[in-house]
Structure 1
Amino acid sequence: MTRPPRDDAPATVPGGPAPALYECAIAHARTEPVRHAFRHRTSMWLVDLDDLPVLPRALRTLARFDPRDHFAGKAPSIRAGLDRFLSAHGVYLDGGRVLMLAHPRVLGHVFNPLTVYWCHAPDGEVRCVVAEVHNTYGERHCYLLRPDARGRALVPKEFYVSPFFPVDGDYRMRLPEPGERLRLTIRLIRPGARPFTASVRGVRRPATTSAVLRAAVRHPWPTVAVSLGIRLHGIRLYLRGVPVHPRPHHRTQEGLR
């Protein structure tokens, strides 16, 4: 664990980038069966799973990274949960570094529609990427990706996220490892159409105590805001007459039990 970051001084992570905050704009755009789009601003953390930041005691309710919020929720650490999932799929990092982009637990609440893990080999090369998806029904699913040099991967859709789309088609994901800028894109591709696109764009900031306080002022209780926003836009689509697809039974994946 890292020591609490000093005010206006970035917390360092041995062998890699410091924990960082990204001031983000998240956008969703639908083209079928109706056109609908929304955009909201939030903040997300990029952290090293082997050296998670710890805020000063008085501020810890503003950002906490809890193993129960990821993978099966039963491992002693998020890293242990990831390693268990990867080993169930024949992937071993041999101690390589893992960077996670996520919302932390804030004021006791967390909701991460998308958590991304960049998994490195000991030599620093990205061995794989894991996209962990949560829906508003309390279910989770992980996509194990082997992206190309530009962070692009194509994977079949296997998880019910929106009630307005069935579980079919493919996701074309572009998830390059963040630097000074964060640029992630996920497109749903169905036969003859690209009905949905989600994007995350952000600017990196050092994860200082003062930066955490500023983010809390700009985006109070961001995890609740994200969860409520998704539900409110779902209500709007329903009132516009968009048909709802029944939620199928979701089979728990190996490594998430």
Structure 2
Amino acid sequence: MMNPPASRLLSATVVHQRMRPLRHRLRYRVVFLLLDLDELESLNARLRLFSLDRPGLFSFRQSDHGAPTGVNLRDEIHGQLRAAGIEATGRVRLLTMPRILGHAFNPLSIFLCEHEHGGMAAVIYEVSNTFGERHRYLVEVEPSQQHATTLRHACGKRLHVSPFMDMNLNYRFTLSLPPDEQSPFQVHIDTCDPEGTVVLSAGLSARQAPVSDSSLLGAFVRHPLLGLKVLGAIHWEALRMLIKGAPFRRHPGAAERPLTVVRSQEASLP
């Protein structure tokens, strides 16, 4: 018997709560795809409303996530894992917002990288800013946590994201992997100052559904201009922060390297 497709459509709610230097809260509904990168070609062949590396109502471009032209994104990720000394040749799933009518902007995408026979080997948090810059935080999963349904780890901030946030901050991630297709997919990120005080708390909670033409059509009806909505929301919330009097930080310059590798002993949190 063939295994059911691993790719899923996620209807998500994203919440941000700033604690310091002033309080500011936002809440938006968006749609994500959780893509098994091995299924990209079959999704492209099976679905009328999904296109791979070409225009479509919903589309996914491997180059949006750093894969050079003609290079499979799964192979590019496996190569990056090997270069980091992590032997993970199994399934790679990507949580990301799709292009809708050709537009997309992903502040955060997450690669879930497994060992050949199962078990999580690494998580890659791919962060993008509105200046066209992208940085990956490649976090090695501790061997004892490879089959855990909740992963907790941390790393230092390396990419300028918000003009209202300092650079000398740390991220604390909590990633709740659903044990079944009926359970929600959840991500929580606390941004902390050097003393460990939370300055920004962000969360994503999403319901899962199969990827089908009907589910994609429903998502389009709810989010017809998703990419423009995300960019518009970023600038609208920035304007609200300025009106509130939030201190403004200039862009300090691009990160020295596009990748930060975080070893399991450095990343683990209780």
Q: Give the TM-score taking structure 1 as reference length.
A: 0.87
Amino acid at match of 1:185: H
- Equivalent residue runs for 1:98-109 within 5 Å: 98-109=92-103
Measured against aligned partners, the alpha-carbon deviations of 1:141-163 in whole angstroms (never above 9, x if no partner) come to: 00111344321111111111111
Quote the residue 1:253 is aligned against. 258
Quote the residue 1:155 is aligned against. 155
Amino acid at match of 2:19: T
Do 2:47 and 2:212's aligned partners in 1 also have CA atoms closer than 8 Å? no
- Equivalent residue runs for 1:164-203 within 5 Å: 164-178=164-178, 179=180, 180-190=183-193, 191-203=195-207
User: What SS is found at the alignment partner of 1:64?
Assistant: strand
Q: Quick check: 1:51 aligned with 2:39? A: yes
Q: Quick check: 1:18 aligned with 2:32? A: no
Aligned equivalents of 1:145, 1:75: Cα separation in 2:
27
Cα gap change, 1:224 to 1:92, in 2 (>3 Å): farther
* Fraction of identical pairs, as percent: 33
Quote the residue 1:92 is aligned against. 87
Q: Quick check: 1:115 aligned with 2:118? A: no
User: Mean Cα displacement is larger for which, 81-90 or 100-109?
Assistant: 81-90
Aligned equivalents of 1:58, 1:85: Cα separation in 2:
31
Q: Give the TM-score taking structure 2 as reference length.
A: 0.83
TM-superposed CA distance for 1:235, in Å, is 1.2
Unaligned runs of 5+ in 1: 1-11
Aligned equivalents of 1:57, 1:205: Cα separation in 2:
17
Aligned equivalents of 1:192, 1:167: Cα separation in 2:
14
Quote the residue 1:224 is aligned against. 228
Do 1:71 and 1:82's aligned partners in 2 also have CA atoms closer than 8 Å? no
Unaligned runs of 5+ in 2: 261-270
User: What SS is found at the alignment partner of 2:219?
Assistant: helix
TM-superposed CA distance for 1:18, in Å, is 2.8
Do 1:132 and 1:140's aligned partners in 2 also have CA atoms closer than 8 Å? yes
Cα gap change, 1:116 to 1:59, in 2 (>3 Å): closer
TM-superposed CA distance for 1:15, in Å, is 5.1
Do 2:48 and 2:213's aligned partners in 1 also have CA atoms closer than 8 Å? no
Amino acid at match of 2:192: I
